[in-house]
């Protein structure tokens, strides 16, 4: 068998973490897991009792499939499966007449979400993750990755987040300056927008100045 890279085994303080690819066929995972346990990782997997955490990414598995994984790992007498966990997938909840797409979840490093319209992410954008859309981007969580709004030339687009600490922001063709030059560090929800060709930042309460939104309450 030619060793593939669908499974990564990492040593941590608590034992071992098995990181399983969440896109390949489940049968391929089982074949590779058996190969690594029996052939290629004998030195790592020998010795006293070792606790194992199995991470499935966004792959959802049945109880029967979990038992197949446990059974394979148990064949190594010193390995004790502590947990088998899947991350909740990013779920599209709503798309309305204004082409607003609502997503729930975490955009992780290496992931790119693209949408033609406005995008609302109820979760976090992690470093290394990317949001790309033709309209506005709203993140009800921490925005720490790259967000590109209005990427087809919409200079009226904005990028808003509960916590705005991006690696980079882009609106239309304008790229943000280094974060430490424009981030306020304010805990209030903020948004980035273009003014006279430059990217600026303000509190979300000031959005109505740009969009002429109705004010429900006044102080």
Residues 106 and 182 in one domain: yes
- Count of domains in the chain? 2
Among 70, 85, 100, identify where a domain stops.
85
Residues 136 and 152 in one domain: yes
Question: What value does the mean pLDDT of the chain take?
Answer: 83
Domain annotation covers residue 168: yes
Residues 141 and 174 in one domain: yes
Question: Do residues 147 and 139 touch, judged by C-beta distance below 8 A?
Answer: yes
Domain annotation covers residue 172: yes
Among 30, 61, 85, identify where a domain stops.
85
Q: Which domain holds residue 103?
A: 91-211
Among 68, 85, 102, identify where a domain stops.
85
Interval 136-173: pLDDT, tens: 999 999 999 999 999 999 999 999 999 989 999 999 99
Interval 98-141: pLDDT, tens: 678 888 889 988 899 999 999 999 999 999 999 999 999 999 99
- CATH code (residue 195): 2.160.20.70
Interval 17-53: pLDDT, tens: 999 988 788 898 899 988 888 876 566 656 688 889 9
């Amino acid at each position: 068998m030619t060793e593939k890279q669908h499974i990564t085994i990492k040593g941590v303080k608590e034992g071992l973490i098995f990181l399983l690819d969440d896109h390949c066929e489940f049968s391929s995972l089982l074949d590779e897991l058996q190969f690594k346990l029996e052939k290629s990782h004998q030195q790592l997997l020998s010795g006293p009792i070792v606790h194992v955490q199995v991470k499935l990414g966004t792959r959802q598995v049945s109880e029967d499939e979990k038992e197949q994984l446990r059974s394979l790992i148990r064949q190594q007498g010193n390995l004790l499966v502590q947990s088998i966990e899947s991350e909740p997938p990013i779920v599209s909840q709503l798309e309305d007449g204004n082409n607003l797409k609502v997503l729930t979840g975490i955009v992780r490093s290496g992931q790119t979400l693209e949408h033609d319209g406005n995008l609302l992410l109820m979760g976090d954008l992690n470093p290394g993750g990317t949001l790309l859309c033709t309209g506005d981007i709203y993140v009800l969580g921490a925005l720490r990755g790259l967000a590109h709004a209005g990427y087809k030339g919409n200079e009226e687009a904005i990028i808003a987040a509960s916590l705005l600490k991006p690696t980079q922001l882009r609106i239309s063709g304008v790229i943000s300056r280094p974060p430490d030059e424009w981030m306020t560090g304010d805990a209030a929800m903020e948004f980035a927008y273009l003014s006279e060709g430059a990217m600026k930042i303000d509190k979300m309460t000031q959005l109505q100045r740009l969009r002429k939104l109705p004010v429900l309450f006044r102080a």
